[in-house]
């Protein structure tokens, strides 16, 4: 008997927390540390913030060498200056005036001493600039962090106190490797997971999905660093690639104007019935069912002049970018297809040709198509940065296979009335298997 396997390698369990729940979660960690070693909650927060909230690791480092931990966590300095005890001769180095009788002077663990009025001005100035957890000492080159309790006991304007606490809370969440703000617009949820992985996290509040590790749109099979590089590159090169954006083309055979209105790249001219590929405008039949080679960029190995190489580099980039853009647009158009399917099902149900349950498989197939196209879109940045060689060849071969099956599926869904249900479901199965193949390396299945 085969062991039970997880049918979905992309499954990533997360918890969706409210602001109050996160606060409680973080406070528990702070308390846990406070009760284990002798530090104030304020110091405990600095320690956890500086050590990625790993309580056990902090305890271990504390037992190993507490001073070293405090210095590394910017709570102590290696050579603290001697603390001023006599205040009568004290001149504050910042305001350089005599310190008024009623005004206190405060020094941090580094020994740097200033009058309380200057500390207050310093804190207020920094909070206005959005600084909270990184608020440090006023002395030149002193990195010592100011503990929360000192900030809150010095700053008395309610608005600034509130701002400081809000900013700090945000920073604590950002510094915790297992917590992420939901990137959804106007969503305040915080997503918590058990591991920091580049997997698809879905917010249960607003249904936004994103890569848990980097917070970008989910991007398997491309890794976080590569997708960042790719997105930056595309933003930089948007000028040169603008010309590809056109959504209309002429039929290569009869030159009649054709508008792309579904996601499928298999185009059929309504006028002359010519079947062609939207990407290369070539005869669809030539792409074959065996090998849809429109996805594969052929590199020209000629070593020419610098400008020729630059042209070649641009050509290579455009090849990948065009496909990336095209599948992204197709994905948008698939939404229209879904609406049309719903309309069609509705009219069938109204004329008593089955129930919504009978036609559910059509909606499922549209959902699967979107999922496959999404993965296909994200295979292009990955392929772009791959080194030439057998590994890349295999990847692009599989990519071409997936693309071909997606186009088949898209074609069948758009003409679902004339397609046999079994045939469509078979096609769904094939496409999903192809998709899983592309993700194999990414998920180490």
Partner 1 sequence: MNNIATQRIKREFKEVIKSEELAKCSIKVDLVGDSYTELKGEIAGPPDTPYEGGIFLLEIKVPETYPFNPPKVRFMTKIWHPNISSVTGAICLDILKDQWAAAMTLRTVLLSLQALMAAAEPDDPQDAVVAKQYKEYPEIFAKTASHWTNVYAGGIICS
| CA 444 to centroid of chain Cα atoms | 20
Least separation in angstroms between residue 145's CB and partner 1 is 15
CA pair distance 118, 112, nearest whole angstrom: 12
Closest CA to 311 of 323, 299, 322: 299
Of 121 and 202, the one with the shorter C-beta distance to partner 1 is: 121
CA distance 210 to 213: 9
Stretch that binds Zn ion, among 46-54, 165-173, 287-295, 415-423 (CB under 5 A): 287-295
The set of residues, in sequence order, having a beta carbon less than 8 Å from that of 40 and lying 6+ positions away, is: 34, 147, 149
Beta carbon nearer to Zn ion, 203 or 428: 203
What gap in Å lies between CA 32 and CA 20, rounded to an integer?
A: 18
Q: Which of these ranges, 10-18, 63-71, 87-95, 380-388, lies near partner 1 under the rule CB under 8 A?
A: 87-95
State the nearest-atom distance from the C-beta of 306 to Zn ion, in Å.
31
Separation of alpha carbons 121 and 217, rounded Å: 41
Among 97, 282, 288, 354, binds partner 1 (CB under 8 A): 97
Phi, psi of 7, rounded to the nearest 5 degrees: -65, -25
Count residues near partner 1 (CB under 8 A): 17
List the one residue from 54, 59, 71, 142 that touches partner 1 (CB under 8 A).
Answer: 142
Applying CB under 5 A, does 211 fall inside the site for Zn ion? yes
187 lies in the binding site for Zn ion (CB under 5 A): yes
Residue 151 or 376: which CB sits closer to partner 1? 151
Q: Does 94 bind partner 1 (CB under 8 A)?
A: yes
372 upstream amide cis, omega within 30 of 0: no
Q: Say how far residue 316 (Cα) sits from the centre of its chain.
A: 26
The 99-138 contact track toward partner 1, x by CB under 8 A, reads ---------------x--xx--xx--xx-----------x
Q: Give the DSSP letter string of 60-129.
A: HHHHHHHHHHHHHTTSS-SSPPPPP---TT-B-TTT-SBPPTT--EEE-TT--EEEHHHHHHHHHHHHHT
For the chain, counts of helices (H) and of strands (E): 13, 11
| 117 or 427: CB nearest partner 1 | 117
Of the listed pieces 25-33, 91-99, 238-246, 289-297, which binds partner 1 according to CB under 8 A? 91-99
Task: Go through 106-135 and write b for each residue having 16 or more CB atoms within 10 A of its CB, e for each that does not.
Answer: bbbbbbbbbbbbbbbbbbbebbeeebbbeb
Residues contacting residue 429 through CB under 8 Å, at least 6 positions apart: none
Catalytic choice (115, 118, 211, 264): 264
Q: Which is nearer to partner 1, 12 or 114 (CB)?
A: 114
CB neighbours of 367 closer than 8 A, spacing ≥ 6? none
Contact 138, 94 (CB under 8 A): yes
**CA–CA distance, 277 with 294 (Å, rounded to integer):** 8
Q: Smallest distance, Å, CB 61 to partner 1?
A: 28
Our answer to whether residue 95 is catalytic in this structure is no
**Least distance CB 126 / partner 1 (angstroms):** 8
Pick the stretch among 64-72, 139-147, 190-198, 355-363 that binds partner 1 (CB under 8 A): 139-147
Identify which of residues 121 and 152 has a Cβ nearer to partner 1 in the complex: 121
Q: Please report how close the Cβ of residue 211 comes to Zn ion at its closest, in angstroms.
A: 3
Nearest-approach distance from CB 144 to Zn ion, in angstroms? 5
Using an 8 Å Cβ cutoff, are 410 and 331 in contact? no
* Token reading at 397: 């071969």
Stretch that binds partner 1, among 89-97, 145-153, 273-281, 385-393 (CB under 8 A): 89-97
- Nearest residue to 212 via CA among 170, 183, 185: 183
Find the part of the chain contacting Zn ion (CB under 5 A) among 55-63, 286-294, 311-319, 364-372.
Answer: 286-294
34's contact among partner 1, Zn ion, none, with CB below 5 to 8 A by partner kind, is none
| Residues marked as catalytic | 264
Q: Enumerate binding residues for Zn ion (CB under 5 A).
A: 92, 94-95, 110, 112, 115, 118, 137, 139, 142, 144, 182, 184, 187, 189, 198, 203, 205-206, 208, 211, 213-214, 224, 251, 253-254, 269, 271-272, 274, 277, 279-280, 282, 294
- Which residues would be at the binding site for partner 1 (CB under 8 A)? 93-97, 114, 117-118, 121-122, 125-126, 138-142
């Amino acid at each position: 008997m085969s062991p039970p396997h997880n049918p979905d390698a992309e499954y990533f369990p997360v918890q969706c927390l409210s602001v109050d729940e996160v606060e409680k979660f973080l406070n528990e960690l702070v308390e846990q540390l406070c009760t284990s070693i002798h530090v104030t909650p304020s110091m405990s927060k600095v320690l956890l913030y500086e050590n990625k909230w790993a309580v056990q690791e902090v305890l271990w480092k504390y037992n190993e060498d507490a001073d070293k931990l405090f210095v590394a966590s910017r709570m102590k300095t290696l050579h603290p200056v001697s603390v001023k005890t006599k205040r009568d001769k004290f001149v504050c180095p910042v305001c350089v005036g005599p310190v008024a009788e009623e005004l206190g002077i405060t020094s941090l663990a580094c020994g740097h001493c200033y009058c309380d009025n200057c500390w207050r001005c310093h804190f207020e100035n920094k909070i206005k600039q959005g600084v909270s957890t990184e608020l440090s000492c006023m002395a030149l080159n002193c990195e010592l962090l100011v503990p929360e309790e000192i900030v809150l006991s010095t700053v008395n304007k309610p608005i600034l106190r509130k701002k400081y606490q809000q900013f700090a809370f945000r920073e604590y969440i950002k510094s915790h490797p297992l917590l992420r703000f939901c990137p959804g617009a106007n969503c305040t949820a915080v997503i918590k997971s058990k591991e920091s992985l580049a997997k698809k996290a879905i917010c249960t509040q607003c249904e936004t999905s994103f890569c848990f590790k980097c917070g970008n749109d989910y991007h398997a099979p491309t890794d976080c660093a590569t997708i960042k590089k790719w997105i930056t590159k595309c933003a930089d090169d948007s000028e040169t690639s603008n010309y590809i954006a056109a959504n209309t083309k002429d039929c290569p055979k009869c030159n009649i104007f054709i508008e792309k209105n579904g996601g499928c790249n298999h185009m059929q001219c309504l006028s002359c019935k010519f079947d062609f590929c939207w990407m290369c405008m070539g005869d669809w039949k030539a792409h074959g069912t065996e090998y849809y080679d429109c996805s594969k960029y052929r590199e020209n190995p000629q070593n020419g002049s610098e400008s020729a190489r630059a042209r070649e580099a641009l050509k290579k980039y455009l090849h990948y970018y065009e496909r990336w853009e095209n599948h992204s647009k197709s994905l948008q158009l698939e939404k229209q297809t879904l609406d049309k399917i719903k309309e069609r099902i509705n009219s069938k149900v109204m004329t008593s040709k089955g129930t919504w349950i009978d036609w559910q498989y059509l909606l499922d197939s549209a959902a699967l198509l979107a999922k496959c196209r999404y993965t296909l879109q994200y295979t292009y940045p990955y392929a772009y940065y791959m080194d030439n060689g057998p590994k890349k060849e295999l990847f692009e071969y599989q990519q071409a296979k997936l693309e071909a099956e997606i186009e088949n599926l898209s074609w069948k869904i758009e003409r679902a009335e004339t397609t046999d249900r079994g045939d469509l479901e078979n096609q769904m199965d094939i496409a999903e298997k192809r998709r899983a193949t592309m993700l194999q390396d990414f998920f180490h299945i």
